[in-house]
């Protein structure tokens, strides 16, 4: 009888301990791991593309929700990241965050806080590694390492960009093997002598992302060692940004790959936001043009794919280390592409247009507290929505200045309807609905495309659909506060 009583007491004691531990785990605010990937098209295995090798991102997606129609606010790095990090519409240039920082310094108190600053204010340790804002490490100056010129003042506890043995942030940002920089290589006509693509034998560490992800893993270990303080860790992966450089082992994956045909490869007729692929064309292309040389076009596409697989490997390193730290079950993971990239569609090789290929990018959200099993949603959402979403998922209030909406309802029910997406660049702005894209140029010219047709964004029907133009124009101007 005495033995039975002792056993019962032991079982009750054990239950109380386990219950207390569970309660504490449930009550603790979740961590956030934000992975920003540069120039990533929504072409991954989990997005239904079979020729791309992206096993690590696919594995992450299998535990989260895939947003198949996520659109960014601007088809360029700095302006897109402005929206992500501030929760507001902003300028369309790469200097948008620096302009905001200057205003913050000049007129303290009138500029809205940022996403990392908001989390920091609410007790999180905030750490940035790599290209999270526009500049690597978030700093300006001649060599991009001047602490007084921060893109995100008072936002991060630590904002890091390890340049490895190269000792120069430009060696990281310019992106070729062993820290090659382009500063002294510009020709008289404005070209760049760096090769547009490259594949060098060696480990991941010979290219920038291998070095910076090493640092991100160190930071993750350090953050996980303090279980009483939640963390917001943002990691910026540079690839597949130009120039397309990755270790040769990733290119070998695509040696015998048969690439799908490029849809709508012709230069648009009439006025559009088409451009001559200036950024791409400035690099050394061995006097070859992918618009007229199919073999060269395929070489470019395979090197881009190699860069995607290299970026995917870095995502794998991050998610595997997160598991090893023991905090994965209490960490929300967001994988976000800062914009898309044309690989010959509309005869463009680059971003910087207001076509679908520039504005649509991958978004995957994985919250271990929710019942997610790789669901996908066709709901239209914006990068603007990530700020309020992360606030709601972590139990934080959503600040009044945020202009997006939380995606938590869609995470709970992927069939819920989204909302039209707004984007802008230079002298035009656009709105994307379920069926149409409208582009308004500042001079009054209008483009309207019907995505229910096979022509999609190759046939401007604005003249024939004045009622649709009027309705969508009203929507666009209302959303932009005009």
State the catalytic residue, choosing from 134, 303, 339, 342: 134
As given in the structure block, the two tokens for residue 332 are: 């929300």
SS3 content of the chain, % helix, strand, coil (to 5): 40, 20, 40
d(CA 468, CA 283): 41
d(CA 193, CA 196): 9
State the catalytic residue, choosing from 36, 46, 77, 391: 77
The per-residue b/e assignment along 378-393, b for 16 or more CB within 10 angstroms, e otherwise, is: ebbbbbbbbbbbbbbb
As given in the structure block, the two tokens for residue 281 are: 């064309």
Residue 293: name the closest of 349, 352, 355, 350 by CA: 349
- Is 134 annotated as catalytic? yes
The radius of gyration computed from the CA coordinates of the chain, to the nearest angstrom, equals 23
Q: Residue 402 to residues 243, 389, 417: CA-CA distances in angstroms?
A: 34, 11, 20
Phi, psi of 198, rounded to the nearest 5 degrees: -165, 145
Contact (CB, 8 A) for 160 and 219: yes
d(CA 130, CA 162): 8
Q: β-pairing, 363-366 with 331-337?
A: antiparallel
**Catalytic residue set:** 77, 134
């Amino acid at each position: 009888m005495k033995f039975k009583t002792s056993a019962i007491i032991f079982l009750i004691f054990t239950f109380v301990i386990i219950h207390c531990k569970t309660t504490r785990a449930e009550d603790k605010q979740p961590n956030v791991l934000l992975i920003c990937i540069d120039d990533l098209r929504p072409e991954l295995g989990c997005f239904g593309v079979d020729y791309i090798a992206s096993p690590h991102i696919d594995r992450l997606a299998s535990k989260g929700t895939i947003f198949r129609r996520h659109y960014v606010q601007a088809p360029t790095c700095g302006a897109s990241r402005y929206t992500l990090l501030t929760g507001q519409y902003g300028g369309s240039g790469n200097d948008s965050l620096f302009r905001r920082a200057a205003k913050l310094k000049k007129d303290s108190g009138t500029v809205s806080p940022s996403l990392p600053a908001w989390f920091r204010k609410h007790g999180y340790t905030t750490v940035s590694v790599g290209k999270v804002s526009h500049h690597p490490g978030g700093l300006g100056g001649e060599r991009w390492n001047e602490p007084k010129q921060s893109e995100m003042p008072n936002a991060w506890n630590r904002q890091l960009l390890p340049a490895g043995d190269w000792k120069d942030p430009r060696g990281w940002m310019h992106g070729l093997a062993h820290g090659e920089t382009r500063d002294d290589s510009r020709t008289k006509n404005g070209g760049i002598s760096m090769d547009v693509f490259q594949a060098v034998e060696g480990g991941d560490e010979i290219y920038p992302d291998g070095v910076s992800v090493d640092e991100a893993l160190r930071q993750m270990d350090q953050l996980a060692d303090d279980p009483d303080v939640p963390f917001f860790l943002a990691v910026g992966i540079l690839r597949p940004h130009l120039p397309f450089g990755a270790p040769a082992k990733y290119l070998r994956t695509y040696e015998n790959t048969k690439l799908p045909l490029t849809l709508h490869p012709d230069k648009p007729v009439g006025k559009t936001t088409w451009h001559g692929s200036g950024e791409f064309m400035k690099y050394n292309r061995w006097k070859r043009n992918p618009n007229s040389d199919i073999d060269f076009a395929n070489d470019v596409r395979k090197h881009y794919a190699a860069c995607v697989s290299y970026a995917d490997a870095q995502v794998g390193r991050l998610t595997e280390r997160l598991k090893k730290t023991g905090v994965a079950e209490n960490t929300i993971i967001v994988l976000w592409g800062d914009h898309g990239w044309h690989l010959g569609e509309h005869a463009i090789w680059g971003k910087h247009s207001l076509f679908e290929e520039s504005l649509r990018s991958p978004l995957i959200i994985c919250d271990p507290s929710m019942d997610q099993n790789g669901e996908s949603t066709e709901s239209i959402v914006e990068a603007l929505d990530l700020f309020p979403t992360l606030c709601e998922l972590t139990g934080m209030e959503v600040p009044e200045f945020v202009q997006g909406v939380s995606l938590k309802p869609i995470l709970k029910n992927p069939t819920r309807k989204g909302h039209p997406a707004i984007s802008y660049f230079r002298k035009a702005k656009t709105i994307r609905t379920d069926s149409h894209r409208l582009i308004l140029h500042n001079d009054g010219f209008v483009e309207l495309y019907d995505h229910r047709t096979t022509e999609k964004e190759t046939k401007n029907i604005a003249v024939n659909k004045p009622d649709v133009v009027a309705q969508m124009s009203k929507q666009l101007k209302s959303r932009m506060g005009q």
